[in-house]
Amino acid sequence: MNKDFVEVYGQLINNPEYWDMFTKKEEYNTKRYDEHKRFRFSDSKYRDALNPSVSKYLIEKGYSVEYPDNKKFAVALTHDVDDIYVKNKHIFWSLLNLPKNRDFSMIYNLIIGKINKRKTPYLNFKKIIEIEKKYNAISSFYFFANNKDIFGIKYDFEDVQDETIYILDQNCEIGLHTGYYSYESIEEIKKEKTKMEKIIGKKIIGSRNHVLRFKTPDSWEVLCNAGLLYDTSFGYHDMIGFRNGMCHPFQPFNLNTNKKINILEIPLNIQDMTFLIYMKTNAKDSWNQIKNLIDTTERMEGVLTILWHNWTFCLPASLGGLFDKEWTKLYEKILKYCSEKDAWLTNCKEICNHFK
């Protein structure tokens, strides 16, 4: 590295515009939250989320990063495992989407999965990993250790022990998907982390908060004190891009204590649900926006973090038909494009180790 982040930190502090954006000062003591207590892009005064302006400023001041094998930039591949058990609402959604998808096997697969948990279409990790292997890529999978959730009871982590062994054997990462009701509790997160570590026999170093519930800067402090080395929750749920102008992992700064927080943030930039639910775009129309972010991250020699849920790949069930086959194709299109650009296609654990 030529200059690391610490060397240019002072220059960032001395630039109030970029410092306020980097620290996300506007999110302190705000009451502008949605029903899940998330800060929305639509409420931010920074309207150009597609521009990593803070990273660009740091690069102009001499900040640079080297990656393994002389890769120019990195792509962190991640999957939130929100569902394993088939729920009645999934079957209902499949009926609603039947006129569009015209696939009765979708309903059949969900019903079979409802009857027999071991035949649920959401146990599809091998399929995901096989897709990634074609591009010499590895990824992170974030599992729940707490089945209490606002959207209904989730799965028991013990039920996927065999699958987690397979995931780890493929050099992929198991991370913690903090529970909906526990994301603000140090003790609850510690319990979830310890439970997962006992089951898989490996240390859990990273996490992502469920539905991207995040309070700046409190969530970083909570996760740090719970023993996590990195977080990858910091991204808008309703917009793709760079929440604080950074397309590089960074160590957060707490304006309340005037101290750095001892955790690495690997910002989330792109997720499937953002396009489908909030931006109201299909897989085909989303590609140009994704391509733009990839190209931007390449120019900044940064890290682009992508979230594709496991149920996006379980065709034809695919969360009751909400996601069609084009979404799986889009994920592979992302891998192919990044591979052709010689990106480092890796998981958050490797990113964390590299930047730490």
Task: Give the pLDDT score at 323.
Answer: 86
Distance of CA 3 to the CA centre of its chain: 28
CB neighbourhood size of 104 (10 A)? 11
Q: Does a structural domain hold residue 211?
A: yes
165 class by beta-carbon count within 10 Å (0-12 exposed, 13-18 middle, 19+ buried): middle
Please report, for residues 46, 193, 223, the alpha-carbon distance to residue 189 in angstroms, rounded to integers and kept in the order given.
31, 6, 8
**Structural domain tally of the chain?**
1
CA distance linking residue 113 with residue 87, whole number of Å: 9
Task: Give the pLDDT score at 1.
Answer: 38
Nearest to 317 by CA among 147, 43, 124: 124
CATH of the domain at 186: 3.20.20.370
Task: Give the pLDDT score at 6.
Answer: 66
CB neighbourhood size of 10 (10 A)? 9
Task: Give the pLDDT score at 3.
Answer: 61
Which residue in this structure is represented by tokens 């003790």? 187
Q: Does a structural domain hold residue 40?
A: no
Task: Give the pLDDT score at 166.
Answer: 98
Residue 306 · residue 334 · CB < 8 Å: yes
Q: What percent of the chain has pLDDT over 90?
A: 83
Q: Does a structural domain hold residue 5?
A: no
Regions of the chain where pLDDT drops below 70 = 1-8
> Could you please report the per-residue DSSP string of 308-345?
--GGGGSTTTHHHHTS-HHHHHHHHHHHHHHHHTT-EE
**Backbone phi and psi for residue 286, each to the nearest 5 degrees, phi listed first:** -80, -20
Q: Does a structural domain hold residue 43?
A: no
Which tokens hold the place of 96?
Answer: 């609603």
Q: What is the largest CA-CA distance in the chain?
A: 61
Contacts of 282 by beta carbon, 8 Å cutoff, 6+ apart: 275, 276, 326
Tell me the helices (H) and strands (E) count for the chain, helix number first.
15, 11
Residue 135 · residue 343 · CB < 8 Å: no
pLDDT digits (tens, 9 = 90+) for 25-59: 999 999 999 999 999 999 999 999 999 999 999 99
Residue 261 · residue 224 · CB < 8 Å: yes
Query: Which amino acid makes up residue 332?
Result: E
Q: Does a structural domain hold residue 322?
A: yes
Q: Does a structural domain hold residue 17?
A: no
Distance of CA 127 to the CA centre of its chain: 19
CB neighbourhood size of 43 (10 A)? 15
CA distance linking residue 212 with residue 234, whole number of Å: 7
CA distance linking residue 273 with residue 195, whole number of Å: 28
Relative to beta strand 253-254, strand 259-260 is: antiparallel
Query: Which amino acid makes up residue 345?
Result: L
Q: Does a structural domain hold residue 113?
A: yes
Range of the domain at 93: 71-241+249-355
In the chain, DSSP assigns E strands to 74-81, 140-143, 173-178, 206-209, 230-231, 253-254, 259-260, 264-265, 270-271, 303-307, 344-346
Q: Does a structural domain hold residue 51?
A: no
CA distance linking residue 323 with residue 314, whole number of Å: 9
Task: Give the pLDDT score at 5.
Answer: 66
